[in-house]
Amino acid sequence: MADTFAAALDDFTRRDWQTLAPDAVDDPVRVAVVGLGWFAREWALPGIDRSAYTEAAVVCDVDPEVTAAVAAERDLVGVAPDELRSGAVAEEYDAVYVATPNATHLEYVEAAAEQGKAVLCEKPVEATLDRAERLVSACDDAGVPLMVGYRMQTDPAVRRLKESVADGALGDVVHVHATMSQTMLGELGTDHDQWRLDPDLSGGCALMDIGVYPLNTTRFVLEADPVAVFGTTRSEHAAFAGVDEHASYRLTFADGVEAMCSVSQTAQHASRLEVTGTEGRAVLDPAFYEREDREFALERGGSRVGVEFEQVHQPAEEFAYFGHQLLAEEPFYPDGEHALGDARALDAVYESAETGSVVRLDG
C-alpha cells in the first residue's frame, strides 16, 4: 500500500509525452515572442527559459518601448511588428509564439506560416470562428506545425485526471462542474492588458478569456467534443459595456454527459473542475490559474485520496512540450483542429446566449 502511494507520488509529475531527454538537446527551438503583455513577460518568457527544449530569441510588441525594454533586459533581438511579419529577422528564430490580443493572432500566424515557422498560438485561437478557421488553414496550407497554448493540457494534475477518466477510475462519467472567476479589473491591472474589454480585439471577455479553461479542459479530460451547448452572458459594470462580464454555459456530450460551467471576470477569485462518474469523483481545486497550487483529489466509494504535489511552472511545461514535439518530430495534441473545437463551441455559446436556445454542434 505504502509502495503504491509512494510510486503514485513519484510518478505524479512525470512527462508521459517525453521521449527525447532534456539533456540530449543541443539546439533548442528558438522562439520569437509576439505580444509582450503581462502573461508573456511574467510567465511565458520565464517558461521558455526554463524549458530545455526552447530558448527565447526575438521579442516583439506594438509598443516599441516595451519591446526595447524586454529585449534589453533579456539580451534578445527586439523588432517591430511589421519587421517580424515581413520576415526581416526570420533567420533568428525557428518558431513564433503569438500572445497578442485575440483578433490580431491571424496576422502574425499567417506571416509565420509564410516564413515556414512553427507556431504556438495563444488561446482562444482567434476572436471569431471565421478568423480561427482562416488561421488554422494558413498553417495547414503552408504545412507548418501549429500548437495552441492550452497550458492546462501539459499540467500533470490535468493529465493524471485525464488518465483517471480513461482508465475507468470514475466509471462512466455522469456530470462535470467547472468554474473560474477572478477580479479582472483588480488582478490584471495595467491598461496594456485591458484589450480584453474591447470586443473588436477580444471577440468577447468572460467566455473568450477564461471560459475557454472549463471548456477546453473538459474536452481534453473527456476526450470528447460537445454536441450541443446552451449558455447565457451578462454584464453589470460599465467597463464591460461591450462584452460579457459573466457567463454560464452547459456542454452536452454525445453520451449524455453534461458539463455545467460558469465564469466571471468580477467575482471572488476561484477555480474548480469536478468530474463525477458512476464509480468515483475527481476534483481539481484550485484548477485553472497558473499562479496557485493545484490540488488533485480522487474519491471512490467512501474513500478519498488527496494529492498535493510539486507544482510545475505551467508555461515551462507547455513550452517544453512545444519544443519537444518539434525536435522529436511528433504532432501536437492541442493542434489547430482541436482548437477549432473550442472556437465552434464558444461561437455557439454566444449564439445561444443571443437566441435563448440550445445550439447543436453535431448538425
Amino acid at 40: A
Q: Is residue 207 within the footprint of a copy of itself (CB under 8 A)? A: no
269 lines the binding site for a copy of itself (CB under 8 A): yes
Interface residue with a copy of itself among 22, 46, 87, 171 (CB under 8 A) is: 171
DSSP state letters, 58-114: EEE-SSHHHHHHHHHHHT-EEE-HHHHHHTTTGGG-SEEEE-S-GGGHHHHHHHHHH
Q: How far is the CB of 106 from a copy of itself (least distance, A)?
A: 32
User: Which has the closest alpha carbon to 189: 34, 33, 41, 346?
Assistant: 41
76-84, 134-142, 172-180, 314-322 -> range binding a copy of itself (CB under 8 A): 172-180
Least spacing, CB of residue 206 vs a copy of itself, in Å = 10
Q: Following DSSP, what letter does each residue of 305-360 receive, concatenated?
A: EEE------HHHHHHHHHHHHHHTT---SSBHHHHHHHHHHHHHHHHHHHHSS-EE
Q: Quick one: which segment of 71-79, 218-226, 245-253, 326-334 binds a copy of itself (CB under 8 A)?
A: 245-253
Q: Which is nearer to a copy of itself, 19 or 278 (CB)?
A: 278
Convert residues 1-20 into a mask of x (bound to a copy of itself by CB under 8 A) and - (unbound): --------------------
b/e map of 219-245 (b: 16 or more CB within 10 Å)?
A: bbbbebbbebbbbbbebeeebbeebbb
Binding test (CB under 8 A) with a copy of itself, winner from 50, 177, 192, 313: 177
Burial 115-124 (b: 16+ CB within 10 A, else e): bebbbbbbbb
**What CA–CA distance (Å, rounded) separates 213 from 107?**
24
By CB under 8 A, residue 256 contacts a copy of itself: yes
Asked whether position 260 contacts a copy of itself by CB under 8 A, the answer is yes
Shortest spacing between CB 361 and a copy of itself, in angstroms: 15
Rounded distance, CA 32 to CA 84, Å?
9
Q: Which of 261, 327, 343, 346 is close enough to bind a copy of itself by CB under 8 A? A: 261
Please choose, out of 37-45, 148-156, 271-279, 311-319, the segment that lies near a copy of itself by the rule CB under 8 A: 271-279
Report the alpha-carbon distance of residue 103 to residue 178 in Å, rounded. 26
Cell of 72: 534589453
Question: Could you tell me which stretch among 65-73, 113-121, 143-151, 179-187 binds a copy of itself (CB under 8 A)?
Answer: 179-187
Contacting range for a copy of itself; rule: CB under 8 A; set: 27-35, 64-72, 129-137, 228-236: 228-236
Which cell goes with 175?
Answer: 456530470
Which residues in the 293-352 window bind a copy of itself by CB under 8 A? 299-302
268 binds a copy of itself per the rule CB under 8 A: yes
Nearer to a copy of itself, 134 or 300 (CB): 300
At residue 92's C-alpha, the angle toward residues 90 and 97, to 5°, is 75
Judged by phi (left if over 0) then psi (alpha if -120 to 50, else beta), residue 298 lies in beta
* Contact set with a copy of itself (CB under 8 A): 170-171, 174-175, 177, 179, 181, 183, 230, 232, 234, 236, 246, 248, 250, 252, 256, 258, 260-262, 264, 266-270, 272, 274, 276-281, 299-302, 356-358
